[in-house]
Amino acid sequence: MPQDHVSRRDVLKSLTMGAAAGSVLRTIPLQAAEYAHSLIAADKADARAGGYMPKFFSAQQYKTLQNLCETILPADADSGGAVEAGTPEFIDLLTSENPAYQLTLGGGLMWLDSTCVDRYGKGYLDCAPEQQKEILDRIAYRKNVAQDAGLSQGVEFFSFLRNLTSDGFFTSKIGIQYLGYVGNTFLTDFPGCPPVPGV
């Protein structure tokens, strides 16, 4: 089917259906992810809208999402991080088209804030960095649910968010450059695999 006949909604739904089965990178065509990133770039460039406006998350939830994405994949000396790569926008755009994502991510962000209020007396973004780290360390590991069943929603949420953050980053221009992916290129020779140290 020609690209002109494929709607934005069709492409975004194809992304969200595949991601539900696992990582976008394993099940979704890179072209579809690139299309989602191009929609985001167009939204950011739209001066009339003042840049990208979240499609699903509230302003406060979106700030929390940005903070979490940056915590999961921060910028370093080799590459920009998840925020520079447009990962929060990627997640928001996909979430706007998928009710299951809305439940998992929207509910997860509400769980995170309410849990932080119960434990620290304030929402996640208002917590001190060490408190943020403490709660994320608790929901980063499934084994912690055995000790505290109340963490189960948080663990599921954070696991899903980490996968989507990776998917958004590694399908972005920054992520592809970080991987060193050059696409299909002609090789005049193949030197083989590098030697394994110690063998």
The total of structural domains in the chain comes to 1
- Ranges of residues in the chain whose predicted pLDDT is under 50: 1-6, 20-21, 24-27
Tally of residues, the chain: 199
User: Are the C-beta atoms of 171 and 37 separated by less than 8 Å?
Assistant: yes
Q: Residue 94 is part of which domain span?
A: 3-179
pLDDT on residue 134: 96
Q: What local confidence, expressed as pLDDT, does residue 138 receive? A: 95
The per-residue pLDDT for 197 is: 84
Residue 185 within a domain:
no
Which pLDDT score is estimated for 16? 58
Tell me the per-residue pLDDT of 59-114, one tens digit each, with 9 for 90 and over.
Answer: 999 999 999 999 999 999 888 999 999 999 999 988 988 888 999 999 999 999 99
Contacts of 170 (CB under 8 A, 6+ apart): 25, 176, 178, 179
Residue 192 domain-assigned?
no
Which amino acid is residue 56, in one-letter code? Answer: F
Would residue 199 count as lying in a domain? no
Which of 75, 66, 32 has the alpha carbon at shortest distance from 178?
75
State the Cα–Cα distance between residues 41 and 54, nearest whole angstrom: 13
Residue 198 lies in a domain: no
Q: Which has the closest alpha carbon to 56: 25, 92, 107?
A: 92
Domain assignment present for 187: no
Residue 29 in domain? yes
22, part of any domain: yes
Record the tokens describing residue 136, joined without a space: 């994320």
Is position 24 within any domain? yes
